[in-house]
Structure 1
Amino acid sequence: METIASPEMVAVPAGQVTLSDRRTSRRWHVDVASFEIAINPLTQGEYADITGEWPGATRGERLPVEGVSWWDAIRFCNALSEHAGLASAYRRVADDVAWDTTANGYRLPTEAEWERACRAGTTGPRYGPLDAIAWYRDNSDGRPHEVREKHPNPWGLHDMLGNVWEWCWDLYDPEVYGTYRVLRGGGWFDEHWSCRAAVRRRSHPTYQIDDVGFRIARG
């Protein structure tokens, strides 16, 4: 089997995060165990190394992969785990997915993990001045940009806000939206108010949208 370098990861310490939903005015606390998360959103080059595919409208090795569905992200995680000799985190059950939380393979972060990693110990809406940390509508020229061009957060994570929205594992609100999954982070075409640590968005897991990618996690 061809040797493929795994994306660089950062260890995130255990802690608690408070999630909120503006639509319902709900707030809830989540205890997060320690885990690892990729320094940047998965790139097109990394995605092509595993799948042979180049989704999205603009091609570039260091551009974040976009135009990928939640199901595409799940399949990628399992394929990368297989290449790395790790146990797959996900197993398909009919039209759903079961997550084996004991597996050591790659996976999507939970929504709580994503927000803890994004905030990196900060308490404001963002971990720095928006123009310094994110590509969004006012500075992106209407297109995605290569990863790691903006300043990272205090834990060394790049592009947690802006550039592309990122799929998370969680269902958004199953009682209202069924199988729709959570998106976080804001994208290159979003206004400034969407690029905040607490902002939640949703999409159907089969949809492939041109400003939606993902970031992998482990542990």
Structure 2
Amino acid sequence: MDVLTGNEMIAVPSGQVTLSDRRTRRSWSVGLAPYELAASPVTQALYAQVTGSRPSTAHGDRLPVECVSWWDAARFCNSLSRRDGCTPAYRFGTDGEGADGEAIEWDASADGYRLPTEAEWEHACRAGTTGPRYGELDEIAWYRGNSHERIHAVGGRHPNPWGFHDMLGNVWDWCWDVYDAEVYGTYRVLRGGGWFDEHWSCRASARRRSHPAFQVDDVGFRIARSPV
């Protein structure tokens, strides 16, 4: 996979992952069935092909798409599913929930593209490793220490043992999960760290949150699929 676009899918085996939150000092285990995850974040080229839009602040076909909200990412997943002849994973409603005045339901039986859960994300990021990172940070990630404070093309750093690129650094990935509904309402989980982050944010266990309508220049996403 010399030139990645963001829809090259890798099969991930079932497993169990323990998630943790430094703010609440809570940890919890999640069992996972097999799934597929993209080898890299969605690129600007793929996003433009599917949506006709180029929202990013930096420009380049091989750069990760950024300045996309969680809602934008979910709509992209449905659009890509329809393009590829798959059943969309998400159903949108209009019952007043969310910043866009919409509700959303995930059809777990659909074969279409979707956002990974944060447990799926961390399981794929760790790829069987147990430390905070799956390799030396300067070799696997673009972060503040080596990025020259700019975003980089996907696939430019070494992949993890399962073949995933940019799981750490470059852009944060939106995940499906709500971060903490009691405290932060509809805020969704971000994972992975970005090009402007210090080394301590680029860890397999690090969690960040953002409002699902916010569009930020170090936040993108990668796609997942459930096996049929």
TM-score (ref. length: structure 1): 0.97
Counterpart for residue 16 of structure 1: 16
C-alpha distance in 1, partners of 2:179/2:33? 21
Tell me, yes or no, if the aligned pair for 2:112 and 2:225 is still in contact at 8 Å.
yes
| Equivalent residues in 2 for 1:173-188, closer than 5 Å | 173-188=180-195
C-alpha distance in 2, partners of 1:115/1:84? 27
Letter in 1 for 2:210: S
Counterpart for residue 64 of structure 2: 64
Counterpart for residue 47 of structure 2: 47
Counterpart for residue 164 of structure 1: 171
Counterpart for residue 99 of structure 2: none
Structure 2 counterpart of 1:106, from 113, 117, 136: 113
String of CA shifts for 1:61-85, please: whole Å, max 9, x gaps: 1000000000000000000000001
C-alpha distance in 1, partners of 2:210/2:201? 15
C-alpha distance in 2, partners of 1:163/1:50? 22
Letter in 2 for 1:179: T
C-alpha distance in 1, partners of 2:188/2:31? 20
Shift in Å, 1:93: 2.3
| Equivalent residues in 2 for 1:1-219, closer than 5 Å | 7-94=7-94, 95-219=102-226
**Which blocks of at least 5 consecutive residues in structure 2 are unaligned?**
95-101
Shift in Å, 1:115: 0.2
Structure 1 residue ranges, 4+ long, deviating more than 6 angstroms after superposition: none
C-alpha distance in 1, partners of 2:131/2:49? 37
C-alpha distance in 1, partners of 2:206/2:198? 12
Aligned CA-pair RMSD: 0.9
SS of residue in 2 equivalent to 1:11? strand
Shift in Å, 1:6: 7.7
C-alpha distance in 1, partners of 2:179/2:6? 29
**Which blocks of at least 5 consecutive residues in structure 1 are unaligned?**
none
Q: How many corresponding residue pairs?
A: 215
TM-score (ref. length: structure 2): 0.93
Shift in Å, 1:147: 0.5
C-alpha distance in 2, partners of 1:12/1:201? 24
Shift in Å, 1:55: 1.1
